[in-house]
Structure 1
């Protein structure tokens, strides 16, 4: 009898978010699931970890019975660290993060708590995937995600991933019948043109709201933005080694030593 894989599930929208509930349902068809997720939304936290305050973990109880779900007071990266080091009795076979409410394509991956959780597991040598749906609504319909979440997860379990590589998967916000398939992509060159809306509080203090617009600067047809615009699921292999290897040779020509 084949042993079921142990799957660590996390996210950044919080343990009660519809996206993670969908992800849990899909993972239960694949293996044994343990959930360690934030007790409140942690979007945009990036790879933040908790250093200057205590962390709390609470095992959820449903109908008087303990579950394999744990809510954590920390960040998504904290959740993965605690899951691996304290909660699980063995290393998970895979870590999946999401399904995020909103895009984590192109530059968004830098800020994403969803992807930082997956990267944290990748640092530990665990095959990891971050899933996102291009719908920011709390009431987003995740039905079209299920097929591709299962397909990609099963392929990672079957084939493994290159050491140091994590998958960033984004799913277009269309009906499943409109999704044309899966594209392996590179991250598009894009950014946010940001501005701050300055206001004054009733107490007379200045305060700011961050706003802006997303600008795609990349016309390539091999990018995640192109794939998503054309109703493909985008899969981008990313890594936590941020070294700009192509720049090393040039820097070595600098006069930096006496």
Structure 2
């Protein structure tokens, strides 16, 4: 009998979030599951790690399992590091992060704790996928995303994700019947245009509240933003080598010597 794959599950919304509880349930159909996730929400943490404070992890019992679960006081990247170095006795066959409450398409991947956890696994040579649903509500309906997460996970386990690549998966917040399919895309050129709402405390001290709007500057029909807008699940292969290789030759013409 073929040994079941070992699957590490994590997220950035916290170990009690409905999204990760759904993802755990899905992964239990594929293999042996170990959960290491933050004990509180860590959205927008990017690839932050804990350096100047104590890091804690404890085994918790949230539902009937059969997975083993650990609650961690650190960031999503901390969770993956701790899982690999201290909790697991062997390297996982797959790491999945999510299901995130909200979009991680286009530029959001840079800020995302969900994707940073997946990227941390990828850095360690572990195939990894970040899953996000385009619904920021705590009690979002994750059931519509289940068939697509199962399909992508099955294909990833069967065909193997390319080395040094992590998959960024975003799912439209519509009924599964209205989703047209799964589309492999590039990351759209889009970003947030931030504004700061300046306010005063009752004591007269200035403080700021971050606001803004999302602007898609990309008219391409091969992007994640286009796919999501047209009711497709988007799959973007993300590389964590940030070198702009095409421009090395140009910079060498600057004659730094």
Q: TM-score, normalised by structure 1?
A: 0.97
Aligned partner of 1:222 in structure 2 is: 222
Deviations 1:204-247 (A, max 9, x none): 21100000000000010000000000000000000110001111
Q: How does 1:19-98 map to 2 (within 5 A)?
A: 19-61=19-61, 68-98=68-98
Aligned to 1:144: 144
Pairwise CA distance, 1:61: 3.1
Structure 2 residues not aligned, in runs of 5+: none
Query: Shift of residue 89 of structure 1?
Result: 1.2
Structure 1 alignment gaps of length 5 or more? none
Number of residue equivalences:
257
Query: Could you tell me which residue of structure 1 aligns to residue 168 of structure 2?
Result: 168
| CA displacement at 1:255 relative to structure 2 | 2.2
> 1:54-85 CA deviation, whole Å, 9 max, x = no partner?
10001003589996100000000000000111
- CA distance in 1 between counterparts of 2:11 and 2:62 reads 20
**Which residue is equivalent to 2:115?**
115
SS in 1 for 2:143: coil
Counterparts in 2 of 1:247 and 1:101: CA distance versus 1, 3 Å: same
- For residues 142 and 5 of structure 2, the distance between their equivalents in structure 1, rounded to whole angstroms, comes to 24
Kept in 2: contact 1:60–1:67 (CA 8 A): no
Q: Over residues 94-147 of structure 1, what are the superposed CA-to-partner deviations in whole Å (9 max), with x where a residue is unaligned?
A: 000000000000000000000000000000000000000000000100011101
Q: Is the 8 A contact 2:32 2:67 kept in 1?
A: no
State the partner residue of 1:128: 128
